[in-house]
Amino acid sequence: MIVNKLMSVMPAILLLAACSSDSSTAPGSAVKIIAESGATVDLTGTWMSACYSSDGIYRRDIHTYAADQRAVSHETYGAADTTCAGTKSTVQDLTVTGITVSSTKKTLSGWVDGSGTVTSAPNSQAGPALTTTALVSKHTGTYNSNTVKLVLVIDDSVASSWVMYRDYDKAHLDAEGYPSYVTTADPLFKK
């Protein structure tokens, strides 16, 4: 009798064990992460940097989130097009697929500028500085058959004007391989 009852619940136990993981999102789901305010925000849509100069050419970075994917591209403009308003050339850089967001959060070590030098947190859209050691969502995806680990800070202090600060992944990884810093350089604005 006990054996029969155990055998009848065993498949359910195995199914629950197979489903348990550190991930809080299902494959194909929209990427939703914790923002500066503590609210969960959906990244679906297009995020674009302001026009900036890189090696004498003006450009904009673009990240487009759809379901569990992030497509990264950039637009280049002429050397004299300081407003990125003229003729552009769009280049698809990479696509991260299968993004899942961990149910556990990470506390950042801080902020760096574009060269990797530790700096203070920028001001939020509402005025006061963002949190220096923000609590952020850890998320992973696949690029070129490799797992990539990502963190972002989303300034959601103004509802219609979200700003994304990207991880600085050139150095300073934690023991799990997640970046420990985000950069103040070239933030992306929700379109």
Give the pLDDT of residue 5: 33
Q: Report the distance separating Cα 62 and Cα 190, nearest Å.
A: 10
Does the residue 95 lie in any domain?
yes
User: What is the chain's mean pLDDT, rounded?
Assistant: 87
Contacts of residues 148-152 at CB distance under 8 Å and 24 or more positions apart, as own/partner, are 148/96, 149/173, 149/176, 149/177, 149/178, 149/179, 150/96, 150/99, 150/178, 150/179, 151/106, 151/108, 151/178, 151/179, 151/182, 152/33, 152/43, 152/182
Structural domain includes residue 12:
no
Q: Domain span at residue 163?
A: 20-190
Question: pTM of the full predicted structure?
Answer: 0.84
DSSP state for residue 123 in the 8-state scheme: B
Q: Is residue 162 part of a domain?
A: yes
In this prediction, residue 120 carries a pLDDT of: 96
CA distance 34 to 90: 30
**Which of the 8 DSSP states describes residue 108?**
-
Residue pLDDT tens, the chain, 191 long: 433 333 333 333 223 233 334 556 777 889 999 999 999 999 999 999 999 998 999 999 999 999 999 999 999 999 999 999 999 999 999 999 999 999 999 999 999 999 999 999 999 999 999 999 999 999 999 999 999 999 999 999 998 899 999 998 777 899 999 999 999 999 999 99
Q: Per DSSP, which regions of 37-128 are E strands?
A: 40-42, 45-49, 52-54, 57-66, 69-76, 89-107, 110-112, 118-119
The tokens for 45 are 């849509």
Task: Evaluate whether residue 142 is within a structural domain.
Answer: yes
Residue 8 within any structural domain of the chain:
no
Q: What is the pLDDT of residues 59-79, one digit of tens each?
A: 999 999 999 999 999 999 999
Judge whether 128 lies within some domain: yes
Total domains in the fold of the chain: 1
In a domain, 109, yes or no: yes
Q: State how far the alpha carbon of 145 is from the alpha carbons of 20, 95, 174, 177, in Å.
A: 23, 11, 22, 17
Q: pLDDT, tens digit, for every residue of 150-162? A: 999 999 999 889 9
Please, are residues 48 and 61 in contact by the beta-carbon 8 Å criterion? yes
Alpha-carbon distance 79 to 53, whole Å? Answer: 8
Domain assignment of residue 161, yes or no? yes
